[in-house]
Structure 1
Amino acid sequence: MSKLQEDSDAREGQEALQGAADAKGIEEALRAHPQNRFLQFIAMATRAADETDAALEKLSNDIEPPLVSKINLGTASRADLEALRRDLRVAEANATTFLPRYAALLKAKRDTVEKTARSLHIENGTVSRFLRSVDRQHAEITAYTSRMLPARADFYRAYGNYVAMLAAEFGAYKVVNGLFIFPSQATVDRYNAAAQAMNAAAKRVDELEQEKAGLAKSQAERWTQFVNGK
């Protein structure tokens, strides 16, 4: 595509995207201007970003076996508690070893969007600017993930210690209104220590989840600036 034609498509595309706040709006703009390569490019990049987000979310969910989030500790049997301990060990191991899978996923997605962008014959400067934006986004995701995964591993480890304590005391405690009642103060103290460690680890994960929301917002703002040619 000539620079003149690209500039014309970009202007037309930017006008068509006014008020398009999501992927649906971008697809509607493309349907209205199906030959506009700038819109084809933006729609492709948006779909790729959505697919990447979905793949990252699936990978994150795959770390944790289903029982971890579904069990009711107050009604769990000893066998249930032992099964949960096994699943928590799996989750901890996954959280410790999954970072290369995140990196491989991001690289594969980057390679795909670069290939598709170049197939549209977008001017090299625009493609390079786009790829720099992708690289920055992926670097931020990797940096965030490199902190979130250890935090999740710490949580699964602390949760496992908490469950181990319950399994060891199974049959000795009662559950009253959702509270565990133990027969001795020494056991109460051990339970409280395990619960506090688990809650502290969970708090750190929650803090990082909030950080993730802020990261997503800043990345969306940068993407809007790119679309507008800024």
Structure 2
Amino acid sequence: MEVYCRGIARIRHKDTGVIYDIESDELDWDQVGGDERQMGPALHYEAALDHPQLGELTWGLWEYPIGIENHHDTDAGGHEVVEDFDYGLEHEEPEPDEWVDYDVPSNPFSIFMDSYRQTSLLLVDHGKDDGRDLVNRLVFSHLVTALEAYLGDTLINAVAGDADAMQRLIDGDDELSKEKFTLAEIRKDPDLVERRVREYLRAILYHNLAKVDVLYNIALSIRILNLTSNKDDLFNLSYSRGRDFGLF
């Protein structure tokens, strides 16, 4: 995993009301701490900036379990964050030949539910009340991966089968809207744009639900995070399900 940080942060001074812009390349990210927990190490990444007018500003990320962005936090020292960076954790982008032959299944939901049922039976037969048990941890990690695959395959299928959805994604996504191709490239490969969109969607980290929610909303007008209007309730539900698996 590596930290990504894009865009700008705009912070309003709490006393003067002046808004200051901070570029993402002004930050240097480092791993500053970590500890051992039930499902392995929890890692803490941080970037700090000593701004001449705003004082010390910090941005923090937590990775737990390994490979999962658990939480991020911006500390503006009492000033108002008008606009923040787009920042988080991501895997290094794979080379295209790693998944060029990947065929997206036509029934991702059925595949996900089969996986859920099979791992639930495995947990009943071999899991333990202690969340540190290897089987419990493997089941949890597998279900996260299965959810990522379901969200990714579903979005790729929907966009590939709907030209309007693909156009909305190209227009509305910050990264795709910046893509530029020459006439020679397009003439050489008429499917260049569609292929680039598929490559981009395959490279997304689908456990980053905030990012996935934006993509689904742009392309399909679906908000996957509208399960509840109360984020505390959503957290409590997630905690309860994790406790059912013996993970907390």
TM-score, normalized by length of structure 1?
0.29
- Give the strand-richer structure, 1 or 2: 2
